[in-house]
Amino acid sequence: MKLRQGHADRVDGIAFSPDSRILASGSEDNLVLLREVATGNEIRRLEGHKYVAFSPNGKLLVSGSNDSTIRLWDVATGHEVRQLFGNEIMGEKSVAFSPNGRLIASASGENTVRLWEVATGRETQRLSGHTDHVLSVAFSPDGRFVASGSKDGTVRLWRISSIHEPSLAEKQEQQKACFIATAVYSSALAQEVILLKKFRDEILMESKVGRQFIKLYYQLSPSIANFIVNRSILKISIRKLILEPTIWLLKEIWSFNPHVLKTGSKEKANNGKY
């Protein structure tokens, strides 16, 4: 069965949903098309990317492209769930979900493989060794290995079990890492942190300038947060001089729309940091 024409250029990525009902295709035209397998009919279009993979439960689609981002999409609605910032120059050439759906691997044009947490969007590990562009990645069925193929003519196998089973020292180090507002308020579930996350997701993510600000923030924030987390006077100063005025302003802006400030189970389940 030949599917109806939909792309205007070569097709670079293709993937079936786990239930085999949906086929995703990504093209050099920077368009991802979702089609019903049974009919070939187009379900929806996701703009901007070309390399694709479904999550194990079929609810999410991850896509990569040359625009330096990796995007997570809600398959049912077509809405963008999260945006990750990959290689700035050469982009991300291939993407894959881990079997448990918790990690994403991306093949980078800067000769590395990157691993990302789905829940937080945090880059957890960068695997270096290839001497040319990495073009493809895949997880082993047990989730313990990532395989990568490169323009350098080699295939490399990476053991990642340490990511799932960190040592006590690694766990303690991970617990120290956090973002500025989380460090100041001592919880990712604090009302103030959730409000700032909403500002990030609903305002900043909607513009190119906002996304660049988020990218810079993610680069700088962890080291700043780790520095202030155990310094009470500094935390109080940042809260009083920076965060509280910012949060007051956001509440004023959103006062006409009170439901924005509600903290339902979805936010708690996300448990992201800011």
- pTM for this prediction: 0.57
69 with 47, same domain?
yes
22 with 146, same domain?
yes
Q: What phi and psi, each to the nearest 5 degrees, are found at residue 186?
A: 65, 15
174 with 255, same domain?
yes
Greatest Cα-to-Cα distance within the chain, rounded to the nearest angstrom: 68
| Nearby residues of 168 by Cβ (< 8 Å), 6 or more positions away | none
What CATH number is associated with residue 98? 2.130.10.10
Beta-bridge partners for 126 = 114
CA-based R_g, the chain, Å = 20
Closest C-alpha to 58, from 31, 34, 92, 94: 34
pLDDT of residue 149: 93
Find the length of the chain.
274
List the domain range (segments joined by +) for residue 61: 11-164
145 with 209, same domain?
no
pLDDT of residue 22: 93
Q: Is the dihedral of CA 204, 206, 211, 212 positive or negative?
A: negative
Distance separating alpha carbons of residues 138 and 142, to the nearest angstrom: 12
Helix 191-202 and helix 244-253, axial crossing angle in degrees, nearest 10: 60
174 with 160, same domain?
no
Burial class (CB in 10 A: 0-12, 13-18, 19+), 168: exposed
Q: Which helix (H) or strand (E) holds 258?
A: none
pLDDT of residue 262: 42
pLDDT of residue 254: 66
Pull the structure tokens for residue 83: 């945006």
Last residue of a domain, one of 164, 180, 210: 164
Q: Is 1 domain-assigned?
A: no
pLDDT of residue 62: 92
The count of structural domains within the chain is: 2
pLDDT of residue 1: 52
Distance separating alpha carbons of residues 86 and 95, to the nearest angstrom: 11
pLDDT of residue 155: 94
Pull the structure tokens for residue 243: 């965060």
Q: Is 3 domain-assigned?
A: no
Distance separating alpha carbons of residues 84 and 211, to the nearest angstrom: 10
For every one of its 274 residues, what pLDDT tens digit does the chain have, with 9 covering 90 and above? Answer: 555 567 666 877 889 999 999 999 887 777 888 999 988 888 888 877 778 999 999 999 998 877 777 888 899 888 888 887 655 445 567 899 999 999 999 988 778 898 988 888 888 888 888 888 888 999 999 898 999 999 989 999 998 854 444 444 444 444 444 478 888 877 666 778 778 887 887 788 878 888 888 888 877 887 888 888 778 788 888 888 998 898 888 877 766 554 444 433 333 334 444 5
Can you give 27-87 as a three-state secondary structure string?
Answer: ECCCEEEEEECCCCCEEEEEECCCEEEECCCCCEEEEECCCCEEEEEECCCCCEEEEEECC
Beta-bridge partners for 83 = 71
Q: Which helix (H) or strand (E) holds 265?
A: helix 265-270
154 with 18, same domain?
yes
